[in-house]
Structure 1
Amino acid sequence: MQSRTMNRIAILSAALLIAGCATDQQNRTAMGTGAGAAIGAGLGALIGDSSKAALIGAGIGAVAGGVVGYNWKGIKKDVEQSGHGLGVDVVEMPDGTLKVNIPSSAGFASSSYAIKPELAPLLNSVARALEQHPQIRAKVIGHTDSTGQLAYNETLSLNRARSVTTYLENNGVAASRLTAEGRGPSDPVASNDTVEGRAANRRVEIYLYAVQ
C-alpha cells in the first residue's frame, strides 16, 4: 500500500515538474498538453477516482494551437439561462474550457439522435457565443451507458455529437470550428450498476475553448 501511494505521488510530482518547466504562455495553455493530462492522471490516482482523473486530465484532448485561458462569465450565464429547467450543467473546468453537460433525457429520445425541440434555446446560445467570439471553438462528445452492444453505443454517441455540430453549423458556425466525437460507454462519470449512474453516463458534453 505504501509503495503504491509513493508511486502515485511520484506520478503527480513528475507531472508538476513538467508543467513547471513551461514558459508563461505555456502555463496559460490548458489541458490537452502532455503536462495537463499527466497532472490529471496523478490527481486521479491520488484521489482514487478515475472519473475525476478523466475530467481533470483528459478532457477535450490535444488541440492544435493549444488552449488558452478565457473569461467565460458572460457566455456561461447566457448558456445557463437558455438551458434552465433541462438539468444542464455549465462548468468552468480546471483546464480553462467551459463544459456544457447535457443529459440525454434533455436532448434526445431513447435510442435516437434527433435533437429534442426543447434543447434549441441552449444550442442557439452556444451558436451565438461562437458567432460573437471568433477565437472560440467547440468540441462535442457523446457518451452512453454500458447497456447494449458496444458498437451500437459508439455509433449512437457519435451520431448524437454530430447532430449537435450539424445544428450549430445550420445556425451559422463554420464546420472548421467544430469537432464531434463519440466515446460510447468508455468514459463514465458514475457507476453503470445503478439506474441513476446509467442516467448520468448518458450525456452529451460541449466543450467550448479558446485557441492561441
Structure 2
Amino acid sequence: MNTRILTRLSVFAVAGALVAGCATQQGTNTAVGTGVGAGTGAALGAIFGGGKGAAIGAGAGALVGGITGYNWQAIHNKLSGATKGTGTQITEQPDGSLKLNIPSNVTFDTNSYAIKPSFAPVLDQVAQTLQQNPEVVAQVVGHTDNTGQPAYNQTLSVNRAQSVVNYLASRGIPMQRMAAEGRGDTQPIADNSTEAGRTANRRVEIYLRATAQHAQ
C-alpha cells in the first residue's frame, strides 16, 4: 500500500471520528461548532481535489456543522412553559436555530413599539435562556400587516425589534449577542384582506442560534 493511499485512509479515519463526535454530542445540549464541520469538510475535500477541494469541502462542512446545530429540547421546554397561553409558536428551523413566533396580541399595541406587560414574561424567559447559554445569540425580526404606507410599516417593524433588543439588554444580555431588523409588511404569513390574517402578520420573531462549542 503506497504512502498516498495511507494518507487518504488516515484522513477518512479523522473525518469519521469528527462526525461521530458531532453525533454523540447531540444528546447533551451542546453546540456543534462549524469549525468541526469545516475541518471535516476540508479533510474530505483535500482527498479528492487538492487545495481547491479542501476549500470547497470546508464550506460544505461548515454548513453541515451549522445545520447540525444544537439540541434545543431543554430550552424549548422552558420557553414553552413561559409562553403557554400566549399563542407563541416555537419551532426548530432547518438551519439549526430555534424560532419563537410571538403574535401581536402579546407584543405591541397598534402603531406602538412600547412592549406590552403581557410580552414581558416571554422576554424575561428569553433573557434567562441567553444568560444560561452564553453560546446562544438572538436575532429579533419585526413584521407588520399591510395597513398604512410601506415606509411607515418598515420603520415601525424596526422600532419594535429594537425595543425587544433593548429590553433584553436591560436584563443583562450584551448587545453584541443580539441583532434587530424589521421586514415591514414584506413577509406576510396570512391573508392581509382579513382581520385574522392581519393579526397573524403583525408579529415578532426571535431566532436563537448556537454559535460556538459549549464548554464541557
Same fold? TM cut 0.5:
yes
Q: CA deviation at 1:28?
A: 2.2
Displacement of 1:26 in angstroms is: 2.8
- Deviation per CA, 1:97-124: give whole Å up to 9, x if none: 1000111111111111111112111111
Equivalent residues of 1:140, 1:181 under 8 A apart: yes
Aligned to 2:65: 28
| Pairs aligned (count) | 156
Equivalence map 1:127-142=2 (5 Å): 127-142=127-142
After superposition, give the CA deviation of every residue in 1:121-145 in whole Å (9 maximum; x if it has no partner): 1111110111111110000000001
Q: Is 2:204 the partner of 1:204?
A: yes
Aligned residue for 1:44? none
Aligned to 1:74: 74
Does 1:121 find its partner at 2:121? yes
Instruction: Quote the residue 2:163 is aligned against.
Output: 163
Counterpart-to-counterpart distance in 2, 1:192 and 1:109: 18
Q: Give the partner amino acid of 1:123.
A: L
Q: Which residue number corresponds to residue 110 of structure 2? A: 110
The equivalent of 2:173 in structure 1 is: 173
Does structure 2 conserve the Cα–Cα contact (< 8 Å) formed by 1:82 and 1:125? yes
CA distance in 2, matches of 1:205, 1:82: 16
Find the aligned partners of 1:202 and 1:23 in 2 and give their Cα distance: 36
Once the two structures are superposed, the pairs formed by residues 52-67 of structure 1 within 5 Å of their partners are: none
Report the Cα distance in structure 2 between the residues aligned to 1:26 and 1:106, rounded to whole angstroms. Answer: 35
Q: Give the secondary-structure state (helix, strand or coil) at the position aligned to 1:117.
A: coil
Paired AA for residue 110 in structure 2: S
The separation in 1 between residues aligned to 2:60 and 2:153, in whole angstroms, is 41
Given that 1:83 and 1:119 are in contact with CA atoms closer than 8 Å, whether structure 2 keeps it comes out as no
Deviation at 1:146, TM superposition (A): 0.7
Q: Percent identity?
A: 49
Q: Secondary structure at the match of 1:75?
A: helix
Task: Give the 4+ runs in structure 1 shifted more than 2 A.
Answer: 20-26
Query: C-alpha displacement at 1:24, in angstroms?
Result: 3.8
Highest CA radius of gyration, 1 or 2? Answer: 2
Determine the C-alpha separation between the residues in 2 that align with 1:197 and 1:84: 22
| Pair 1:95-2:95 in alignment | yes
Pair 23,199 (structure 1): closer, same or farther in 2 beyond 3 Å: same
Unaligned runs of 5+ in 2: 1-55
